[in-house]
Structure 1
């Protein structure tokens, strides 16, 4: 039976080794698949750029790429779980459990041999040798005892091995099936929750696009048939065909064959009020000493004669007319003389005499008919230009109309602003990546983290980022450095923190019971550590003493104006028009800062130590000193982000951050779910204070408005931020508030009306104001 059991152990070992090899091959293939999948996603985004002018294709491909990226993340997690569960369990079975039983089997075989030898000696000894008989008997008894105990141990371990491996394998593959179940469930939730609305919208747009394409295809087929008939040498019925009824080619892309060019050259009298346009290939004689003739693509546009080379790399890769490298041959056709040139040896040549450059341009067409067409069209264009000038009108082509010029200018300006904004964001992201400790993951020290927790101010690897997402947005808000859209104010918060600073707070008291995970740590251990660190706050540095903040932070000089008791009587419910401006001016001056602070002899303002010291006062004091790391420490200790300081007129930490003019401190509180419209005991919101400080910088106002601050909320005296802005003489702030007021009125009619003022606040000019606001680290 023992031999049979040993044989079964050998068979089990062989099959487990085979299973281990196949599973390892599966994981390796999966990792290669993930790498290729990532390259495939990158290709999707690269292809998307090709359709930058098509809104449907551009947005759809971006969404598809994002969905596939999430699927790839889930698949990577599944592979990691497979590697850490099945491979580790199989390794333990092979390297520990089976090896232990086999070692016991070798000991059993050796003692069995010793027992046989002892029996043989006991049988061979002579009965006359009493001393030898006694020694042999004692040796036999000892060997039999050792052999018996070893047999029992060997049998026990064999039974335990089979029973335990049976349980382990069932439990292992049950968990593996659960991994797949979670994988498919998460994928289903992801795609069903996020793609249902998008898929419906895309399907609607796709059906519409297909219908449009079908109509275009039919029209193209008809045009193709007409063109084939028109340019059949044996068919002369196409002489009356106009350009509008022929194939609709782009007016900016040179056609590649003669028939295409001739099609474009067929022009009739233009409709009344429209500019004459024409395009086509002509040979142009150069003005160098060799007088060479080169074929160029010419067009008449905006009263000018333009040309470009036939084979242009830009024309191949970019179909937008603005991108073609046109050169101006004649800047103003009204000053030119057009005539046929008979003094040249070449046929079909006409001449353009330009007096402003004192030059004569010789151009050659492909036929006499085409040469006459060009001359007629150029004459018609000159006549049209003079007619437009006599009527005090500009040429009416779509490209030269004031609206078109304004649209082109606006488009160029918008592109420039977008590029500037992206540059600012990119530079700030690179700065955040360069902060000490940010070259590694905050939780496991993995190299080159590509994810961030914006409310904690840390950079994370993919695995730790997934664990942070599992905590929920109340604890960690995860964002990709490259896949997600970033605001400058969010990056200002990230720049104030960083992995080293945050770990000094959250890992001040690390415990050996819950060790910090490594790069290849088990997902369960990683998740347990992250929950202990950020949810349970198990390692957080304790609350410092009340005098800890003051010697190490900048003191901010605060104005010391006492409250005017008569103001509440003056500002009643009935404010007449005469004294409103005067009262608002006094109110603006008197209500800004009311807490008396006495400057010390050395010129630094010394606040009185607080009567009560706890984490809420710690947060309040840190916000006053715009110290974002200490604000993070206070929140980690359980401070209330909406704490109202009853010893300072019920002001909140957000109000203190606004008074310190720090966008980073205010954005940190708002990112951690502070209420943007929470007033003090006088009903004054953070926006009231930011409005009064507008002459010191408008960054806080821009931040609060983007985060949903309401300028129409009134304080206890009936004054709102919109009214306060009237005394600022700042047209931008007044316009912002009026746009929000207008939006609120439109919202009553249409709840889904778009917040247009947000895009105005995202202007790079205002972003620079945010970037210039003071911070604790600056």
Structure 2
């Protein structure tokens, strides 16, 4: 049985929980009505012997009604409908079954209604009472003035006691609710099955009918036995979970709220706050607040439409309020209005303020002119830098991230509106943007565009190389291929924001301007002929291996351009997924970007080649930048092929230290084993690759420290990040230092 109400949600006492309660309470009320109706019809059938057929027809109508009510439960619905059809044919036999009916239908269902549903109602009354008491305690606690310490302590103690009482009563109520929902199936079916067996026993005239129904009834009886066992097990599990939750430490007695700006559902933070009304009385009301979609909103009930407090967090600020009598207050101020809010504790107030501040910073970052000036002051020359710093490395090369990226063709102006000197970039698209277009890109979501500042953010070497492999000209040739043909006017720097937003959505989300055919893949010099598309996936045969790679069975294409030519076909005929797959091995980022623009699935699986993915092909191709591009576009770092090997396995076998470092940073599962039972660490040990062994052991040690230290106090994290940063720098700028195995000339080329 699927649990109706979750115990964890119960502790939050959120509008979702209240909405679930209302739904279940209405459901139980309707169930009680249906059962009462059925019992009354049964009594009428017993008392009215002369009108047995009429009463029996009404009773069957009640059964059908109950079956329709149970339409979401196939077992109950089908069983009741089958029984009612058989009973319809029995209405002419006039054999009285009142005594057995009294015991099977009336007694059992009345007992269920009087005992189980009554327990539910009693639990409901207690819950409503303690819920009201908790609300009163919350209001009283919120109204206590800060300078009346004895009243503060008294209100706090009352609130703590009331909350604990509410928690126990609420958990008991949810338990009773779930037990009732679990039990009602067996009770209804058990009583009905007993009634049907009474017909089989006493109606000799209906023997032929019931002989056909008998096997079905026996099967249902067996299912009931299993249902009873399952219900008992579910009850024990729920009671155990109920007990476990009660034993949790709630000493702080604060709602556990955390903010997450990258939450999948878009809700950065949510919880109860008191809000001061803007009317003349300045009343305070408790509402459910949330930060979502760059807005601060609240609602009274779960089904209510959210009321927007702040339409755009970029235009507001948040501050503490210590000049009013109520405690834990803070104010959200926008250019047009301000909103006074109150949390339940100082800890929650700080959490909300931090959440709002973080959301503001994420939604809008000020233009980086001052930061650039400060950066120039801080780093006047290469000689003044500390050894090993990232800034020194940039300046020793004579370029900053901004300079390096803007040197690429088309990057000196915004990719979408053409504004000069763009200071922002989309790292998964590989383009530069002005500040206004970057805000629009952010609103599209990270699955379309990941925005980063060229002056305010830190840039990893592999990301800079990715940006340099693509650029505005390359991406616009793909995403704006049909702009002129369609007669669409590209926005200018002076265009309205709405016009820019419509164009950007059409360009990247709807992909209206992408040509419907794929760009051609250059054929080898010998002009090899194309092969049919259905044979294309049979490509990818032998590989050139290092001794270590041969030992573990890693593969990569072997015969060079000539053998590759024998299986290439016109790329206009290739599916986007296969084009991405091919381009990933060939380290061709423009072709990969084009394939994604045509709808290629970044985790496309090549069934004909051991269920390999583009990310695994990028590993075999030996390109760190290609791996970074796929990961930025949502590639699954833990996908495994038919041999049980993921990208981390293949990178370890081939001795690609930079890729191993990248995958570990992106959360690759270092404990996964292949079909031979080997994890990446054992493969690296067998290959005697000291660099990769060091990385894997360091990652494992850091993971163990995280588990032992918990969320607070992680002494290994800083060192761990520093070492991985050094490996990343070396893999991007001096890869020859990490090449443990000597590769052939064909592979190097």
Normalising to structure 1: TM-score of the pair? 0.42
Normalising to structure 2: TM-score of the pair? 0.43
